[in-house]
Chains A and B, each alone.
Chain A
Amino acid sequence: MASATLRGLVERLGATVTARVWRLGFAARFLFYLVLHSGTALRRFSLTIREIYFAGVLSLVIILVSGLFVGMVLGLQGYHTLQRYGSSEALGVLVALSLVRELGPVVAGLLFASRAGSAITAEIGLMKATEQIAAMEMMAVDPIARVVAPRFWGGVISMPLLAALFSAMGIYGGYLVGVKLIGVDEGAFWSQMQAAVDVREDVLNGVIKSFVFGFAVSWIAVFEGYDAPPTAEGVSGATTRTVVTSSLAILALDFILTALMFTGGNGL
Chain B
Amino acid sequence: MNRTTLDLWVGIFVAAGFGALLFLALKVGNLAAFSTAQTYEVHAKFANIGGLKVRAPIKSAGVVVGRVTDVRFDNESFEAVVTMNLGAEYKFPRDTSAKILTSGLLGEQYIGLEAGGDPKNLNDGDTMRLTQSAVVLENLISQFLYNKAAEGGTEGKAAAKEGKQ
CB atoms of B24 and A100 under 8 A apart: yes
For A56, what are the chain B residues with a Cβ–Cβ distance below 8 Å? Answer: 10, 13, 17
CB atoms of A49 and B6 under 8 A apart: yes
Interface size bracket, B side: 20 to 34
CB atoms of B71 and A265 under 8 A apart: yes
CB atoms of B3 and A165 under 8 A apart: no
Which of B23, B24, B30 contacts A195, CB < 8 Å?
B30
Contact with A along B1-42 (1 / 0, CB 8 A): 001001101101110111111011101111100000000000
For A190, what are the chain B residues with a Cβ–Cβ distance below 8 Å? Answer: 27
Q: How far is the CA of A167 from the CA of B21 in the complex (A)?
A: 9
Which of B9, B19, B20 contacts A57, CB < 8 Å?
B9
Which of A52, A53, A162, A164 contacts B24, CB < 8 Å?
A164
Query: Does A116 belong to the interface (CB within 8 Å)?
Result: no
CB atoms of A198 and B20 under 8 A apart: no
For B27, what are the chain A residues with a Cβ–Cβ distance below 8 Å? Answer: 190, 194
Query: Does B53 belong to the interface (CB within 8 Å)?
Result: yes
CB atoms of A165 and B29 under 8 A apart: no
Report the nearest A residue to B29, measured CB to CB.
A199
The A interface is mostly helix, strand or loop, or mixed, namely helix
For B9, what are the chain A residues with a Cβ–Cβ distance below 8 Å? Answer: 53, 57
Which of A60, A161, A197 contacts B18, CB < 8 Å?
A161
With A197-B29, A198-B55 already in contact, the answer to whether A46 and B3 are too (CB < 8 A) is yes
For B19, what are the chain A residues with a Cβ–Cβ distance below 8 Å? Answer: 168
CB atoms of A49 and B53 under 8 A apart: no
**For chain A residues 164-223, which have a beta carbon within 8 Å of chain B?**
164-165, 167-169, 171, 190, 193-195, 197-199, 201-203, 206-207
With A161-B20, A165-B16 already in contact, the answer to whether A57 and B28 are too (CB < 8 A) is no
Which of B18, B28, B54, B71 contacts A203, CB < 8 Å?
B28
How many Å from the CB of A51 to the closest CB on chain B? 10
Best-buried of B3, B25, B54 by chain A (most CB within 10 Å): B25
With A190-B27, A198-B55 already in contact, the answer to whether A168 and B20 are too (CB < 8 A) is yes
Report the nearest B residue to A87, measured CB to CB.
B104
Query: Does A243 belong to the interface (CB within 8 Å)?
Result: no
CB atoms of A53 and B30 under 8 A apart: no
The B interface is mostly helix, strand or loop, or mixed, namely helix
**For chain A residues 226-268, which have a beta carbon within 8 Å of chain B?**
264-266
For A57, what are the chain B residues with a Cβ–Cβ distance below 8 Å? Answer: 9-10, 12-13
For B24, what are the chain A residues with a Cβ–Cβ distance below 8 Å? Answer: 100, 164, 167-168, 171, 203, 206
With A195-B30, A198-B30, A199-B30 already in contact, the answer to whether A49 and B7 are too (CB < 8 A) is yes
Q: How far is the CA of A53 from the CA of B3 in the complex (A)?
A: 11
Best-buried of A57, A171, A195 by chain B (most CB within 10 Å): A57
CB atoms of B21 and A207 under 8 A apart: yes
Identify 22 residue pairs between A and B in the complex whose beta-carbon atoms are under 8 Å apart, listed by A's number: A46-B3, A49-B10, A53-B6, A56-B10, A56-B13, A57-B9, A96-B28, A100-B24, A100-B28, A160-B17, A161-B13, A161-B14, A164-B17, A165-B16, A168-B19, A168-B24, A197-B29, A203-B28, A203-B29, A264-B53, A265-B53, A266-B54
- With A56-B17, A57-B13, A265-B53 given, can you name 7 additional A-B contacts, CB distance below 8 Å? A49-B6, A49-B7, A53-B10, A167-B24, A198-B30, A199-B30, A199-B31
Q: Which residues of A contact B (CB under 8 A)?
A: 46, 49-50, 52-53, 56-57, 60, 96, 100, 158, 160-162, 164-165, 167-169, 171, 190, 193-195, 197-199, 201-203, 206-207, 264-266
**What are the 10 tightest A-B residue pairs by CB atom distance, in nearest-first order?**
A161-B17, A168-B20, A199-B29, A164-B20, A199-B31, A165-B20, A164-B21, A197-B29, A57-B13, A57-B9
Q: Which residues of B contact A (CB under 8 A)?
A: 3, 6-7, 9-10, 12-14, 16-21, 23-25, 27-31, 53-55, 71
